[in-house]
Amino acid sequence: MTDFLLEIPSAVPDSGLKQLFVKSPPFVVDYSDSVHELVMWGDPVGGDEFVTDPDVVIDPVSLISRVRGHYYFLILNRKEREFFAGNSLFSILPIYYCEKEGEVVLSGNALELGRYAGLDTVSRRFVLETVLFNYPLFNYSIIERISLLPSNSYMEVRQGSVKLVRHTATEDLFSADPLPWRRAGESVNAAFLDTVKKYIPAGKYLNAFTGGLDSRTLVAAGLAAGGDMLCFSFGAPGSKDVEIPDLVTGEAGLPYLKILLDDDYVRMGSLDNGIEFILNASGTASFVRGHYLYAAKILKRHSDCMITGNFGSELFRAANVRGVTISPNLVSLFSSNSADEAFEVIRGSSQFSSLAKGAFDEEWDQLKQSLLTLPCFNRNYRELTRNERFYVFIFEEVFRKYFGAEMVNQYIHLKNRTPFLDAEFMKIILGTGYAGVYSEFFEKNPFKRYKGQVLYAQIIREAAPQLGKMITDKGYCPDDLLTLAGRLKVVRGYVRKKSRPLDPATDLFSAGRAFRHNAEFFRKVYVHPGFFNQEIMADSGQAANSTLYTILSLLIAMAAAEDREIPLRGNPKNDI
């Protein structure tokens, strides 16, 4: 659906834009006039309306501001003899590029681009960033001389000369005086319901329905709009992400598809999908997220379009949990009082000690200089609060580096529409106190964090009241957030949760079980002594360690980059 490879020549071709594609995707928009040509692929929601507008201006800024969804575009302006290539707001679907024989070559996958361009040297800088932060912080790819197009930017190519242009400054979306959230509810409710309508396709579609509030609010909005939906979720047997939606959809009379990450998935689907997930994501993500790809392959049998709650929690709630999405080392960067303090913490981290001693000294020195350009240290952002500086990074990098890996895998099989990331809706939210960006950095106070949940409850009550009376994975109903008695119930639940120790055996998506089941495979993975500490493999196949997951996934991607065979289940002779 989005797989592509194209060459932009130094001279304007006589033939159309589509002739530039070495590998052509299914084009959704194909437009031309006396001056311009435009092709778009992926999921440009409203793309046809854009090109049929009699007052249309065919340029990247107009296109990105008016066309919703996640997509790619290529524009040719014959009069000015220039090309423009880019992707949608926040660059969730990636563009990798390099130079080959005087031409600019682009692809959505760095590994595929490397094979085409004859490049196979692994980027040590990419490896260093990925080990330290779970994904690359900057615009390096796994292969040297192949770069990632920066966030919120497009490429301008004129006579072989490449210029990268930033079209949106995230910090400009923030408000110096946001409307208090208690006064903004009614207008925001209406805006959200109107936004969701624009993403609902004409035919049957899939709607994610987990145990939380993001997806339930989207289900409610879809019901209010009259959408023909099939609800779905996936998770390990007994997990709240499958048991609660199963219960709620049954009571509400909604069609529901339960995708179990059970023993069959662990035995037959986890390894192959995990490896494929890594390669589709160009080495930026771990095999433990292969269940997203596994689910997408099942979901495409029912529709080519799904609507999910991706980015909702991040938009409304102040980030406060260290983990895979927001690594401890990333938190250290934004919480430290100085760059030197942050560098010392990172240098002493377990992630850094997993690297071969002294092997990355040069790259570490280079990385430290790059880290000084981040909003946490860059004086250009000094007028922003600490949390606002952090959110610039979340919007511009975490969204595309973490969630983008899932979505590039999903888009191979079906479209993932994410109304929470709609540009117009974001502007409305960021103009109010609902936005998590205006909270304190890593806000812990539950009374200050629940405002987004109140908004969800209000929308559900207006759009589909029956869903507000049914339990969520937090142990209370959405309607509880709207009454004093209900809020007391929420508080009691929060206190009980904080008093109970976290169960380390929790394995919501069977990632740990899958890792242990495939232990024999992972023991075969060659750990390059020039990159990694050999001791990290001592417990391979036993310990559930996110750093180990990351390194093993990198080793698989490195083998692909260097065109070495990757062993698959059922073909044990192909050792890395």
Q: What is the CATH number of the domain that holds 110?
A: 3.60.20.10
Distance CA 86, CA 94 (A): 9
Domain shared by 22 and 165, yes or no: yes
Q: Binning pLDDT at 50, 70 and 90, where does residue 342 land? A: very high
Distance CA 210, CA 243 (A): 9
Distance CA 116, CA 97 (A): 11
Q: Binning pLDDT at 50, 70 and 90, where does residue 291 land? A: very high
Helix (H) or strand (E) holding 556: helix 546-561
Whether 35 contacts 79, CB under 8 Å: yes
Mean pLDDT within 544-554: 89
Reported as a single tens digit per residue, the pLDDT across 1-60 is 899 999 999 888 877 899 999 999 999 999 999 999 999 999 999 999 999 999 999 999
Domain shared by 447 and 365, yes or no: no
Domain shared by 31 and 144, yes or no: yes
Domain shared by 309 and 433, yes or no: yes
The total number of structural domains in the chain stands at: 4
Tokens of 313: 């929690």
Assess if residue 541 is contained within a domain.
yes
Reported as a single tens digit per residue, the pLDDT across 167-198 is 999 999 999 999 999 999 999 999 999 999 99
256-260 and 229-235: which strand pairing?
A: parallel
Last residue within a domain, chosen from 368, 388, 408: 388
Q: In what order do the strands lie in the sheet with 103-107?
A: 21-23, 5-8, 103-107, 96-100, 147-148
Whether 21 contacts 6, CB under 8 Å: yes
Domain shared by 412 and 484, yes or no: yes
Instruction: Provide the pLDDT for residue 64.
Output: 98
Assess if residue 575 is contained within a domain.
no
pTM score above 0.85: yes
Assess if residue 430 is contained within a domain.
yes
Mean pLDDT within 60-75: 98
Assess if residue 226 is contained within a domain.
yes
Assess if residue 572 is contained within a domain.
no
Domain shared by 343 and 474, yes or no: no
Q: Binning pLDDT at 50, 70 and 90, where does residue 166 land? A: very high
Domain shared by 430 and 478, yes or no: yes
Last residue within a domain, chosen from 388, 409, 429: 388
Assess if residue 505 is contained within a domain.
no
Domain shared by 196 and 344, yes or no: no
Assess if residue 568 is contained within a domain.
no
Domain shared by 226 and 340, yes or no: no
Last residue within a domain, chosen from 336, 365, 388: 388
Residue 463 sits at the vertex; the CA angle it makes with 457 and 466, to the nearest 5 degrees, is: 75
Domain shared by 110 and 44, yes or no: yes
Q: Report which DSSP code applies to 513.
A: H
Assess if residue 506 is contained within a domain.
no
Any idea which residue has 């959110």 for tokens? 391
Mean pLDDT within 490-516: 76
Whether 284 contacts 300, CB under 8 Å: no
Distance CA 564, CA 286 (A): 19
Domain shared by 177 and 301, yes or no: yes
Distance CA 566, CA 525 (A): 9
> Which range marks the domain in which residue 82 is found?
5-170
- CATH number, domain of 236, equals 3.40.50.620
Domain shared by 428 and 469, yes or no: yes
Axis crossing angle, helix 328-335 with helix 386-393, rounded to the nearest 10 = 140
Q: Binning pLDDT at 50, 70 and 90, where does residue 544 land? A: low
